[in-house]
Amino acid sequence: MATNKTVVWQPRAKRELREILSFYNNRNGSSRYSDRLFAEMEYWLSRISDDGQLGEKVDEKDVRRIVVENFLIYYLITPESVDVLSVRDGRRKPKKFKMSEIIMNAEPDA
């Protein structure tokens, strides 16, 4: 039986999410798209909190990702939580995106 884990947004992921939502709020002159995008992300993260195996594995140990619209959400499943590590625009090529550094800098659960 699956258990519902708590979704924990790491500081980096929170910052990236705020930047994404703010960009679309400013560009569109409305929060309609941002609200819908965030709701879609929350929906998929709640599904993952029930079944952490939904996303695809990435090269880093135990890190998985899902795609929501054009955005990649990287997460780590722990015994107690789903830790959201990063949110990236999948259409952009990152200059320096090293998942190992993101994992090392993730804050432990409070």
What would the pLDDT profile of 39-90 be if each residue is shown by its tens digit? 999 999 999 998 878 888 887 778 999 999 999 999 998 889 999 999 998 8
Domain assignment of residue 55, yes or no: yes
pTM of the model: 0.81
Q: With a cut of 60, say whether residue 2 has pLDDT above it.
A: no
Q: Distance of CA 52 to CAs 63, 92, 94, 103, Å?
A: 10, 26, 26, 17
Number of domains in the chain: 1
Domain assignment of residue 58, yes or no: yes
Q: Residue 15 sits in a domain of what CATH number? A: 3.30.2310.20
The pLDDT value recorded for residue 104 is 56
Lowest mean per-residue pLDDT among 7-11, 13-17, 46-50, 60-64: 60-64
For every residue of 40-100, DSSP letters joined together read HHHHHHHHHHH-GGGSEE-SSTTEEEEEETTEEEEEEE-SSEEEEEEEEETTSPPSS--HH
